[in-house]
């Protein structure tokens, strides 16, 4: 009975995500033409930053919809069952053997470096095992080079368009910056690290920077991707360097 209820939850989630994607693109007009159009350049910088956030999130909804629908079918067939649950989990068992994404953990994650663990999960596991970890000798700790190469491999796998490469190369540096923040936080008292104001600030910053980089994945063309980034003064790159 548990898997039937879970199936219903996932199927409903898929319908909601697809519905949101269709609404934003057919009625609101948040799409690639919007951020490439002349009206975009006439907007204030704050509006451009916020609308870039909404546009890229809306673009991701079609992925969430298709992935969640396929995941519901895996649960329905029984292939999604995983005895023992995820490694390190105390749940005993779960239905996430072929989980594709954890939507809330992608959209509201205080650490950008943790985001890949919740997005396109099975592909991420494959990249981590066969690329990221194998670039280091046994016993050595993976370096930034491992991350950069892994992201570039993912970019090439997506296609031979500059926007993919720009996004994945940029994301490697963003993940490294996020890790630096995490290491810096470890010197703080726990009440500061877990302060809700600091947590909220990280969630908002992570979302803004992630969707700034993700705009290249949406636009894909080199000149247009750089123009969109330039229209918001490359704030994502500035944050990363800072």
- The packing angle between helices 162-185 and 196-219, to 10°, is 170
3-class secondary structure per residue, 22-33: HHHHHHHCCCHH
Q: What is the DSSP string of 146-207?
A: HHHHHHHHHHHHH-S-HHHHHHHHHHHHHHHHHHHHHHHHTTS-HHHHT-HHHHHHHHHHHH
Angle between helix 162-185 and helix 222-231 axes, rounded to 10 deg: 40
If we measure between CA atoms, which residue out of 224, 210, 200 comes closest to residue 52? Answer: 210
Dihedral Cα 229, 232, 237, 238, nearest 10 deg: 160
Q: Is 158 among the catalytic positions? A: yes
CA distances from 21 to 34, 47, 60, 64 (A): 15, 21, 8, 10
Instruction: Return d(Cα 123, Cα 154) in angstroms, integer.
Output: 9
d(CA 42, CA 62): 28
For residue 220, report the phi and psi dihedrals to the nearest 5 degrees: 75, -40
Point out the catalytic residue in the list 27, 118, 158, 237.
158
- In degrees and rounded to multiples of 5, residue 200 shows phi and psi of -65, -40
Catalytic residues: 158
């Amino acid at each position: 009975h548990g898997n039937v209820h879970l199936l219903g939850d996932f199927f409903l989630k898929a319908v909601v995500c697809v519905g949101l994607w269709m609404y934003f693109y057919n009625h609101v007009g948040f799409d690639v033409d919007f951020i490439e159009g002349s009206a975009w350049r006439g907007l204030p910088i704050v509006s451009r930053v916020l609308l870039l956030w909404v546009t890229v999130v809306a673009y991701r909804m079609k992925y969430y919809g298709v992935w969640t629908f396929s995941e519901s079918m895996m649960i329905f067939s029984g292939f999604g069952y995983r005895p023992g649950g995820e490694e390190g989990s105390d749940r005993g068992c779960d239905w996430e053997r072929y989980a594709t994404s954890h939507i809330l953990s992608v959209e509201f994650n205080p650490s950008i470096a943790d985001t890949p663990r919740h997005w396109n999960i099975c592909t991420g596991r494959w990249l981590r095992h066969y690329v990221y970890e194998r670039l280091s000798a046994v016993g050595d700790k993976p370096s930034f080079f491992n991350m950069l190469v892994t992201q570039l491999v993912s970019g090439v796998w997506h296609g031979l368009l500059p926007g993919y490469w720009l996004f994945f190369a940029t994301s490697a540096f963003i993940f490294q910056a996020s890790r630096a923040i995490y290491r810096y936080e470890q010197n703080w008292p726990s009440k500061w690290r877990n302060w809700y104001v600091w947590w909220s600030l990280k969630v908002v910053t992570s979302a803004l920077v992630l969707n700034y980089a993700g705009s290249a994945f949406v636009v894909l063309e080199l000149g247009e991707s750089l123009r969109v980034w330039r229209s918001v003064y490359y704030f994502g790159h500035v944050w990363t360097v800072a």
